[in-house]
Amino acid sequence: MGNLDNKKIGNLSDPKLPYDYMNREHGTVPMDENRRRFQWVSEVAYKNIHRIVTRGYDTTELVEEGYGVVDILFVDFQARIPTEEEEAMLNYILILSLEDGLSMPAMMSRLTARSKTFLTQASGASILAFGHAYGAYAAIGSRLNQALVHVKDKSMTQAEAAAELVREQSDDEALGVSDLMLKDPAAKRLIARAEALGVAGDYVALMKEVVKAAQEASESPIDIDLLGATSAVMCDLGFSPEAAWTIIAVTRSIGCGAHFIEEVEREEYTRLGETLTPKEFYDGPEDRPVPPRAEGKKNAKPSQTHSLEEWKQEFENRKKLHGSGFAIVEEIEDPSKKSSH
């Protein structure tokens, strides 16, 4: 081997570097006993060969005592055993959330199943369908939290805080008020159930004011939807917006597992390259011959425009070209930031 001192690679031999790169140490570095070693720690749970413990409770003992899955959700996320009324309310919500027919999460699960994947992959895909518009529990819960801050410090009344929330978010899907459930009574029944069980609190009260403010501002009929009702009640049960999102999404994935099983039992798998798309399903430009490269100048069309009017007209034309992205209204604010953290 040659002398490493004479070898030069880029700026790695620069004397300004904090160490001699070309003569650096090779092999395993001995453990530095003067530093604390990294170790995952958790206050949620631990497990040994004898027991699994969450928030201090032995899970086997919880089950043997008669506690169920809903109770353990309170233990896991809130480190407490719920009241009977709270347990009944969350059970009500989870039953409503578990199945929603051929919804987007179910379709995601079924499409994934057709590719001959595992059930867990399909259920995972169904959770991915819970985007910030489809299942925006983190977003709406965060907004309710922020509005209640003004109510708690008495800088606003509930009605004023709700009115401000509606003014700021009236065009957002994550408002909890829409025209989705004008005929479906599920959302209103959920609120009524919370009130009957005595678990409705500040969040449900604020959500009612949001509904009033939104209805006054809307030119068409709207009312509370399941996103608004579920989010308000979950927050009143003590769950954070992120915890509510997690619980509802995973609950829906269970139902989507049933859709996966049905899909693989009733339908054949789809192999790579097997799917054909008939011309009847195509509504783009008619078939046309590919021009010779030598005639490129005759067929080429530049994208550059030379006046504001020309640019505007070209932009409008491009918006009609579906699949180009020009018709998409860009969200300037990252929707993933619409949470309480």
Please, which pLDDT band fits residue 240 given cuts at 50, 70 and 90?
very high
Residue 142, both tokens: 């965060």
* Number of Cβ within a 10 Å radius of residue 64: 9
CA angle 178, 181, 185 (to 5 degrees): 140
pLDDT averaged over every residue in the chain: 87
Long-range interactions of 114-123: CB distance < 8 A, separation 24+: 114/263, 114/267, 114/269, 114/270, 115/269, 115/270, 116/269, 116/270, 119/257, 119/260, 119/261, 122/256, 122/257, 122/260, 123/253, 123/254, 123/256, 123/257, 123/260
Q: How far is CA 48 from CA 39, 51, 101, 162, 173, in A?
A: 16, 6, 40, 49, 45
Nearest-angstrom CA–CA distance, 54 and 284: 57
| Cα within 13 Å of Cα(2), Cβ side | 6
Residues 196-218: tens digit of each pLDDT: 999 999 999 999 999 999 999 99
Q: Residue 45 pairs with which residues in a beta bridge?
A: 54
pTM of the model: 0.77
Q: Span 183-195, mean pLDDT? A: 95
Which residue do the tokens 């925006």 mark? 136
- The alpha carbon dihedral of 151, 154, 155, 157 has a sign of positive
Residues 269-298: tens digit of each pLDDT: 887 777 888 888 888 889 988 888 888 788
* Number of Cβ within a 10 Å radius of residue 200: 21
Residues 38-75: tens digit of each pLDDT: 888 899 999 999 999 999 999 999 999 999 999 999 99
For residue 224, the SS3 value is strand
Nearest-angstrom CA–CA distance, 227 and 295: 57
Please, which pLDDT band fits residue 1 given cuts at 50, 70 and 90?
very low
- What integer pLDDT is reported at residue 25 of this predicted model? 73
Q: Span 123-135, mean pLDDT? A: 78
- What integer pLDDT is reported at residue 332 of this predicted model? 56
Nearest to 178 by CA among 108, 226, 235: 226
What distance separates the 2 farthest-apart alpha carbons in the chain?
Answer: 84
Residue 224 has pLDDT above 90, yes or no: yes
Q: Report whether 257 contacts 153 (CB < 8 A).
A: no
Please, which pLDDT band fits residue 339 given cuts at 50, 70 and 90?
low
